[in-house]
Structure 1
Amino acid sequence: MRITRTLNTIEMHTGGEPFRIITNGFPRLVGQTIVERREWIQKHADQLRSAMMLEPRGHADMYGGFLTEPVSEGADFGIIFTQNKDYSPHCGHGTIALATAAVELGWVERTSPETRVGIDAPCGFLEAFVQWDGENAGNVRFVNVPSFVWKKDVTVNTPTFGSVSGDIAYGGAFYFYVDGAQYDMAVGENNVDRLKQFGDEITQATNAAFDIVHPEIPEIRGLYGTIISNAPRHPGSTQANCCIFADREVDRSPTGSGTAGRVAQLYHRGKLPSDGTLVNESIIGTIFKGRVLGETKCGEFDAVIPEIEGNAFICGYGTWLIDERDPLTYGFLVR
């Protein structure tokens, strides 16, 4: 065995969605901003993303992040979010997982009843508050970046499902929001294949039809995924939704950035009052909550500041080896 690199990870899940925190073993990321560091790792060390996200160490629906130093005042650390295709601008379930790890593992000074954690991400600064009872971390709420409707009442043409209509909104990434009930698209574990095809075709059609660019961070561009909503399974929930993103990944959580965009969409359409709460279910029935903290502007767009709440758990720790003799050491994917 010839070990050329060893990477260490913390294995977590948020609402069922994995989050692998890659803590060390990768090159120091170069750049003054998180966006610059994301660009650097994509150009110079993307083989480590594929090694840690794809088989045999990961799988088609794996998610994670490379931990890095903070770049802004008030941040405790930075993160480069990643998945099976490339690097995400934001990840709400990852933010909840990171904040939980920071408190559970003592990366920050812990205070009760809540501990503050500051995180620098490609989409901007995120401030999280973690419940702490002196022994265990509990629910996490985080203040999201400004979220807004980029374009409403959009119609795109898909090869299998025909014309599909919805809104394009931003909650840290751009999503197409579609009412699954209009297309007989149930949100549940037994409908995954149809959801993947539906969501992927909408994403591809939207990216072909529109040049979607963030008004203040031009590096954030393009539709990241499609979010399909339908009736929830639990009493008291507002809706259930499923996010299909990256290369047909299926989010097991309710999607943090997607919940933020949904808050902005519902608020913009007058369907979520300023004192209301969106109770959002995932494809497996786990829950995030979202609400509006206030109004703001993002470029020319009327925006809101959402707060998203959920919880995460540490599943384990990993030590991963890179052996250059292994032809599959940098990963592969079977769908």
Structure 2
Amino acid sequence: MSHPLTLQVMDTHAGGDVSRIVTGGIRALPGESVRQQMEYLRDDADGLRKLLLFEPYGIPEMSVDLIVPATDPAADHGYIIMEVMGYPIYSGSNTLCTATALLESGLVPKREGDQSFTLEAPAGRVQVTARVRNGVVEAVTCEGLPSYIDTYRTTIHVPSLGEVTYSVAYSGGFYALVESAQFGFVLSREEESRLAACAHAIVEAIRAEGGFSHYTLGDVGPLPFLHFMGPVEHVAEHFYRSRSATYVHPGVICRSTTGTGTSARLALMHHEGTIQPGDRLETVSLRETAFTGTLTGIRQEGRHTVVENNITGRAYVLARSQIVVNCEDPLVECAGLRHILTDEPIPHE
């Protein structure tokens, strides 16, 4: 490469979780669906994820979302989610950020009031509704993935902790759901490093006992996430609140409560009979940010009661910039990246 190339990006955050949205600088990817394009990135071009999530360009606590053309004719745009642990097929906070970036960049024309559009995630079609007031995107509501309880209140021995009681939900990934009171946590920011260490020990113990299988997707890999649950407060009719914290990677507690973590909580609360369709749960993070999950419906899939839901939050634009990718820089690793860089913008039509 004789000269540096650039990536066009918009940095955003939802609930404190930073998502870097890539809007240009990457060639059109092969694949007949966004899921196949994601698999191509994962298997043949993982250099983009590594470039933007690690030094000198980023940190593991961030996420990256690549805007790609939708393959579903009913969708306006596609997006591929990249995180330190790999390529999740869905993420609530990343969807909130991607939807906001599409509106703020003009890729989706912004209109006053409530407007709806459709995105294609690797998990499939996602309906989005944005509330715009005086040109500002004040809130975004996106569909959460259908969620269910796989395992309810079982125990495991964790060498550093003793007996731990947990449940397992699927909400876009498998989550261990753990009551924070078991360990004396009140879910404050001062506990962040101890929460991460505790969660890591539990996740490793659960992984050692085996994996989990989705009722249609099959094996989706080892359990990656743990969601600490604080006490549930009944705030008003059909409205609940709970402090929460989500572990995603060794040393990393999400700054937000995460959309998929909130969906997992809705599935658990419905399983326990404490909420019904139409009820809302606000999850509050260590940084006092919040997402609101709404239980919109239930259905039966074999032995699983599946919770349909949506997630509401707000994303903020942090920066609009170009990232210079200079493969002659000794700190820049271009393996798995050179072949997808381009001077041309991503085609979106």
TM superposition score normalised by structure 2: 0.88
Q: Decide which of 306, 315, 326 is 1:323's aligned counterpart.
A: 326
Other-structure match for 2:261: 258
SS in 1 for 2:21: strand
Query: Does the aligned pair in 2 maintain the 1:244–1:250 contact within 8 Å?
Result: yes
In 2: Cα distance, 1:252 partner to 1:217 partner: 29
In 2: Cα distance, 1:163 partner to 1:301 partner: 27
Is structure 2 residue 304 aligned with structure 1 residue 301?
yes
Q: Decide which of 303, 313, 316 is 2:316's aligned counterpart.
A: 313
Question: What's the offset of the Cα at 1:297?
Answer: 3.5
Q: Relative to structure 2, which stretch is displaced further, 297-306 or 80-89? A: 297-306
SS in 1 for 2:321: strand
Question: What's the offset of the Cα at 1:280?
Answer: 0.8
SS in 2 for 1:205: helix
In 1: Cα distance, 2:302 partner to 2:75 partner: 24
The Cα offsets for residues 192-239 of structure 1, whole Å up to 9 and x where unpaired, read as: 111111111222222221321222223633312101122589x88621
In 1: Cα distance, 2:328 partner to 2:106 partner: 38
CA distance change for structure 1 residues 223 and 299 in 2, over 3 Å: closer, same or farther?
farther
Unmatched 5+ stretches in structure 1: none
The Cα offsets for residues 129-183 of structure 1, whole Å up to 9 and x where unpaired, read as: 0002351111111122211111111322323212211110011121101001121
CA distance change for structure 1 residues 74 and 112 in 2, over 3 Å: closer, same or farther?
farther
SS in 1 for 2:55: coil
Q: What is the percentage of aligned positions where both structures have the same residue?
A: 25
SS in 1 for 2:145: coil
Other-structure match for 2:338: none
Other-structure match for 1:14: 14
Unmatched 5+ stretches in structure 2: 335-349
Question: What's the offset of the Cα at 1:300?
Answer: 4.2
Q: Relative to structure 2, which stretch is displaced further, 25-34 or 259-268? A: 25-34
Is structure 2 residue 295 aligned with structure 1 residue 289?
no
SS in 2 for 1:40: helix
1:40-119 to 2 correspondences below 5 Å: 40-119=40-119
In 2: Cα distance, 1:219 partner to 1:34 partner: 20
Other-structure match for 1:223: 223
In 2: Cα distance, 1:163 partner to 1:327 partner: 48
SS in 2 for 1:201: helix
In 2: Cα distance, 1:27 partner to 1:248 partner: 33
SS in 2 for 1:48: helix
CA distance change for structure 1 residues 298 and 23 in 2, over 3 Å: closer, same or farther?
farther
SS in 2 for 1:88: coil
Question: What's the offset of the Cα at 1:324?
Answer: 2.1
Q: Relative to structure 2, which stretch is displaced further, 122-131 or 214-223? A: 214-223
In 1: Cα distance, 2:249 partner to 2:218 partner: 19
Query: Does the aligned pair in 1 maintain the 2:193–2:251 contact within 8 Å?
Result: no
SS in 1 for 2:207: helix
In 2: Cα distance, 1:297 partner to 1:74 partner: 26
2:89 partner letter: P
Query: Does the aligned pair in 2 maintain the 1:188–1:283 contact within 8 Å?
Result: yes
Is structure 2 residue 307 aligned with structure 1 residue 270?
no
In 2: Cα distance, 1:158 partner to 1:319 partner: 46
Q: Relative to structure 2, which stretch is displaced further, 4-13 or 99-108? A: 99-108
Query: Does the aligned pair in 1 maintain the 2:110–2:135 contact within 8 Å?
Result: no
In 1: Cα distance, 2:128 partner to 2:220 partner: 22
1:330 partner letter: E
4+ residue segments displaced more than 4 Å: none
Other-structure match for 1:35: 35
Other-structure match for 2:339: none
Query: Does the aligned pair in 1 maintain the 2:171–2:263 contact within 8 Å?
Result: yes
Q: Relative to structure 2, which stretch is displaced further, 74-83 or 111-120? A: 111-120
CA distance change for structure 1 residues 156 and 119 in 2, over 3 Å: closer, same or farther?
farther
TM superposition score normalised by structure 1: 0.92
In 2: Cα distance, 1:81 partner to 1:248 partner: 20
Is structure 2 residue 181 aligned with structure 1 residue 181?
yes
2:129 partner letter: F
Other-structure match for 1:138: 138
